[in-house]
Amino acid sequence: MESKIYWSIGSDAKNDSQIIAPGVAPFHILLLKDEMGRVFVCPRMSNAKFRSNGIDYNLVKELSPSCNLEIAHQSIDWRKIFKLPPIEFMAQIPNAAESQSPNDAQGQEQIPNSEQNSLSEEKSNKVKGINLQLVLIYTLIALMLFLLAFYI
């Protein structure tokens, strides 16, 4: 595992980072990193506030790479905590998802339009066949119920 997936911040010594300042609760916030690499700030108490990009929050917030984080006017370097590259480095990396087509992003080859049309026709034919089968099955069930009703 390359880094922690959570980081506790508060005034208590049992936290991963301890901030002793007025307004900081013993267990103030929890930073969470999910499997997609997104980082969230989660207050651990109803009155636990934090500041991100100059705005106060007391609810769960997802941090974008350009967000800064402050608690009681103390800056928290959350990128360093989760071993993420600094903002300056991220600005130099071209967005690979935009430069690739959706098929390339999944590791698939480009399919010509004529082949795509034939594939979509095959799918629509299969759907029509399945719909016809369902209609026949429901008709047979209705017929059986009708016959059973008059048999009794």
User: Tens of pLDDT along 22-54?
Assistant: 989 999 999 999 888 889 999 998 889 999 999
CA atoms within 13 A on the CB side of 41: 26
Pair 87, 141 in one domain = no
Least-confidence region, from 27-36, 45-54, 117-126, 142-151: 117-126
CATH code, 82? 2.60.200.20
Number of domains in the chain: 2
Q: Which residues contact 49 (CB under 8 A, 6 or more apart)?
A: 23, 43, 56, 57, 58
Note whether residue 104 is domain-resident. Answer: no
Q: Which residue has the tokens 């929050």?
A: 57
Whether the CB-CB separation of 75 and 81 falls below 8 Å is answered with no
Query: Once rounded to an integer, what is the mean pLDDT over residues 83-104?
Result: 52
Q: Which residue has the tokens 């998802």?
A: 97
Note whether residue 105 is domain-resident. Answer: no
CA distance 4 to 110: 38
Model confidence at 56: pLDDT above 80: yes
Three-state secondary structure call for residue 136: helix
Pair 12, 86 in one domain = yes
Residue 83 burial (CB count, 10 A): 10
Model confidence at 107: pLDDT above 60: no
Residue 92 burial (CB count, 10 A): 7
Query: Once rounded to an integer, what is the mean pLDDT over residues 91-111?
Result: 44
CA distance 120 to 130: 15
Give the predicted TM-score (pTM) of the model: 0.54
Pair 77, 47 in one domain = yes
Pair 87, 57 in one domain = yes
Pair 65, 24 in one domain = yes
* Per-residue b or e along 143-152, where b marks 16 or more CB atoms closer than 10 Å to that residue's CB: eeeeeeeeee
Model confidence at 92: pLDDT above 60: no
Confidence of residue 84 (pLDDT cuts 50, 70, 90): confident
Q: Which residues contact 18 (CB under 8 A, 6 or more apart)?
A: 9, 10, 11, 12
Pair 21, 60 in one domain = yes
Query: Amino acid letter at 124?
Result: S
Q: What percent of the chain has pLDDT over 70?
A: 70
Pair 71, 38 in one domain = yes
Domain of residue 144: give its range. 114-152
